[in-house]
Structure 1
Amino acid sequence: MDQLNFPARVQLARLPTPLQPLDRITEKYSTPFDGPRIWVKRDDLTEAAMSGNKLRKLEFIAGAALEQGCDTLITCGGLQSNHCRTTALVGARLGLNVHLILRGEHSGEMDGNLLVDRLAGAKVSFYPQRQYFREQQEIFAHWEKVYADHGHRALLIPTGASDGLGIWGYLDGSRELLEDCRREGFEPEHVVCATGSAGTQAGLTLGFHLAGAKTQVTGYAVCDDESYFVRKVQEDVAQWASSNNQQFDEKTLRIAVNADYIGPGYGIAEEPVYRAIAEAAALEGLLLDPVYTGKAFDGLLRELARGRYRDCENLVFVHTGGHYGLFPHREHFSFLG
């Protein structure tokens, strides 16, 4: 992987992020089942505004935007999209216009990520869910033309910045994580993360493969199903290979997805997730969110209790951020008293 020619990049994140053991979690949820020591890669700490995993990807997206002479970023996501919030902050930091295409009906209340979007000065357009999915390409094209008509050049960024360009963020992140683990005296047998647009999973999976590591990456799905994520990872890797003149067969990758803990759907969690979030905070001072990391961490704890991962000594949970998404779910924590 050291021979790869990385594309243009804007240094935005504070790297490397810490790798920390979760020994109280390990003692309660892994040790009784002869499981591994649990670690957390704190990518929620990429910088002070808690932009998480999205910032690694956007370093390369922003690099491409500046290289191409763009002064505007247009992207999309849900009402509480972590990616959109991070794009808004990156745009503000670099002096770029940001336009967010958000999925869902806006109640008029600003909270969580949506509040930060507005604080950062992003323009926001809301679309009903059916129209958003049915007409997404047309919506992007419309706003690109609007900005062009006013003398601006826009870079269009897909959901989660997950594509053949954004994947560079976690190609670099996988190298950093391996270095972290080796300093601690081990090579991780398993790395797990939440997967929603698949970009983080794709970058980690490809990165470990190119490094010759035996590490198995598993994405805990927060939406869609296993076949979707396998296909999406392959598509991102194929696009990366094509764009960078790499001869690579994406079907040789070991792509693992656990889609058993999605619950009722994207952005909707059930009580076990909220209780897992509370326990991680109480035992480790680790703050998770109900949309991504909380679901994945709850799924991991339940898999450990079933005896999963007994085959390894060390497992790393990649904390991808998302803290602002916690607060719109405040009513679900009534069990705290």
Structure 2
Amino acid sequence: MALMPPSLSPVADLSRSSPLSLHFSSISGGNSAPSASPEQFSSLVWGSKLPSSSPFRSQFSVAGRGSDIPHRAGTSVQAAQHWSFHKESRERRGAEAMGSRAGVLETEELEEVSMERQPMLSKAPYVPPSWATHLHAIPSHFYSLAQLPTPIHRWKLPRLPNGTEIFLKRDDLSGMQLSGNKIRKLEFLLADAKAQGADCVITIGGIQSNHCRATAIAARYLNMDCYLILRTNRTLVNEDPGLMGNLLVERLVGAHVELVSKEEYIQLGSIVLGDLMLEKLRAKGRNPYLIPVGGSNSLGTWGYVEAVREIEQQLVQGKVEGISAFDDIVMACGSGGTTAGLALGSHLSTIRAKVHAYAVCDDPEYFYDYVQGLLDGLNAGVNSRDIVQVVNAKGLGYALSTTEELKLVQEVSELTGVILDPVYSGKALNGMLKDMTENPAVWEGRKVLFIHTGGLLGMYDKVNQLGPLISNWERLRIPESFLKNGDGCGKMF
């Protein structure tokens, strides 16, 4: 597939006439939970109160809320082929009370319903896991953007409770220039954008948002322009945002960057800002597609429903050394989509692990409600509080790191070679280890899967804080006698 070069269209400064101080930047080209009232939240989840052409409206189908959208063409027939297996499997799970979890389904049965990975950048029909065929609406297609499956390996952390074993799911290795967990959602979201004839996408996040960077790359791969609304400090909103970390990648691939202050973001919320950009681009003759903060809507949730099928297969097929089942799944929760997909998938599948989401922004009650909206958008028929435990791990706040959190990131890197980002996985690990220290009996003997959601480029935003923690260097002192008598074979040419 030929890639279209970035547009070099002239700059339009929209900030002069707008009270929002959105800055349409002359440059070409955080992720946080959206700030929204209950009414705005309903808009994001159900697609109500949005224009009839809004991309959100076609992504959800719930009786009594929005339009009733049937399974898309090409999906229902394929899904129906698995209904009898699905029914039999669920009956067997009930009869056996999930006695051996991952061992309930045979390898051959799991292979029967596996998602076929197509060549990179290609589009393919989507058939859901057999245990998810009752969810609605089922995506019709996905784009193959990620490098999957991501591996799982033991993670030998120190000072764990007796008998506790930690395994690491390396979604930081999902490809797409270190896009981490974001790319799983984008496989479905961008397929929907293409199906609607979009020529560009819009998304929103913090100034060092991993999701925004992943969206910019994936959109360019699929020949779409990308418009980013990035939240920054009030004192910096009128300045060039620079080329550090995720911003460098976004600008290299030609994303159009607009800045908004944190105060404006809090006052208006992501939905209003996104709608404003939709209107401006449509006025220019574009056909934009709006992706919410973190890609976290009900359609994006399918990315981690599918990830559970991947974990299920890795266990049954013996791809995880020395283990056949997990007791717990742990991850950072920043916008809710990854949490919703993992919790729902674990609940419906043979995994049946207890899911712990460590919130890196907002409070647990916010996420219980937000995840509930995503589940309801899939007609899941479950209560979020029954399938996930949300724990407050935000510390000083979103993207703000304590010395304790950064010290843990540094120590884990030195001990295990695994580098965690300080905004998401670093906070989640810090929260989990605190729980284990305070409640060791609860975690003793547990087999825990920690999802590394990526975000390495965001480390560049913490260079000044990390610097004092990393001092392992000194100048090599070469004896004068060696300098005088050396044979010169080490000289550089």
TM-score by length of 1: 0.92
Aligned residues: 326
1:285 aligns with 2:423: no
Provide runs of 4+ in structure 1 moved above 4 Å: none
Shift of 1:251: 5.0
Note the residue ranges of structure 2 that are not aligned, 5 or more in a row.
Answer: 1-128, 472-493
Shift of 1:146: 2.0
Shift of 1:192: 0.3
Q: Map 1:165-176 to 2 at 5 A.
A: 165-176=299-310
Q: Map 1:149-164 to 2 at 5 A.
A: 149-164=283-298
The percent identity for this pair of structures is 35
User: In structure 2, what residue type is equivalent to 1:101?
Assistant: I
Alignment partners' CA distance in 1, 2:411 and 2:258 = 37
Task: Describe the superposition over 1:218-247 as per-residue Cα deviations: whole angstroms up to 9, x where unpaired.
Answer: 111101111111111111111122xxxx6x
CA distance 1:48–1:212, change in 2 (3 Å): closer
CA distance 1:252–1:326, change in 2 (3 Å): closer
Alignment partners' CA distance in 1, 2:222 and 2:195 = 13
CA distance 1:252–1:323, change in 2 (3 Å): closer
**Counterpart in the other structure of 1:37:** 165
Task: Describe the superposition over 1:47-94 as per-residue Cα deviations: whole angstroms up to 9, x where unpaired.
Answer: 050000000000000110011111111010111111001000111111
Task: Decide whether the 8 Å contact of 1:78 with 1:104 is kept in 2.
Answer: yes
Alignment partners' CA distance in 1, 2:225 and 2:434 = 43
Alignment partners' CA distance in 2, 1:141 and 1:230 = 25
**Counterpart in the other structure of 1:255:** 388
- SS in structure 2 of the partner of residue 220 of structure 1: strand
More deviation in 141-150 or 302-311?
A: 302-311
Task: Describe the superposition over 1:274-310 as per-residue Cα deviations: whole angstroms up to 9, x where unpaired.
Answer: 1111112111110111111111112222222231642
Alignment partners' CA distance in 2, 1:208 and 1:62 = 25
Of residues 229, 253, 263 in structure 2, which corresponds to 1:101? 229
CA distance 1:229–1:100, change in 2 (3 Å): same
User: In structure 2, what residue type is equivalent to 1:63?
Assistant: A
Shift of 1:255: 1.9
1:81 aligns with 2:209: yes
More deviation in 57-66 or 293-302?
A: 293-302
Greater helix share, structure number: 1
More deviation in 153-162 or 311-320?
A: 311-320
**Counterpart in the other structure of 1:326:** 459
Alignment partners' CA distance in 2, 1:227 and 1:251 = 11
Task: Describe the superposition over 1:120-154 as per-residue Cα deviations: whole angstroms up to 9, x where unpaired.
Answer: 11111111112123224332222212222222211
Q: Which has the larger radius of gyration?
A: 2
**Counterpart in the other structure of 2:490:** none
Of residues 347, 353, 370 in structure 2, which corresponds to 1:215? 353
Alignment partners' CA distance in 2, 1:308 and 1:125 = 49
- SS in structure 1 of the partner of residue 130 of structure 2: coil
User: In structure 2, what residue type is equivalent to 1:266?
Assistant: Y
TM-score by length of 2: 0.64
**Counterpart in the other structure of 1:143:** 277
**Counterpart in the other structure of 2:364:** 226
**Counterpart in the other structure of 2:101:** none
**Counterpart in the other structure of 1:302:** 434
CA distance 1:188–1:160, change in 2 (3 Å): same
Task: Decide whether the 8 Å contact of 2:394 with 2:427 is kept in 1.
Answer: yes
Of residues 408, 425, 429 in structure 2, which corresponds to 1:276? 408
- SS in structure 1 of the partner of residue 178 of structure 2: coil
Q: Map 1:44-123 to 2 at 5 A.
A: 44-105=172-233, 106=236, 108=240, 109-123=242-256
- SS in structure 1 of the partner of residue 142 of structure 2: coil
CA distance 1:38–1:251, change in 2 (3 Å): closer
Alignment partners' CA distance in 1, 2:396 and 2:433 = 19
CA distance 1:17–1:251, change in 2 (3 Å): closer
Task: Decide whether the 8 Å contact of 2:163 with 2:444 is kept in 1.
Answer: yes
Which structure carries more relative contact order (alpha carbon 8 Å, separation 6+)? 1
Q: Report the aligned-residue RMSD.
A: 1.7
CA distance 1:308–1:155, change in 2 (3 Å): farther
More deviation in 181-190 or 12-21?
A: 181-190
CA distance 1:312–1:57, change in 2 (3 Å): farther
More deviation in 301-310 or 192-201?
A: 301-310
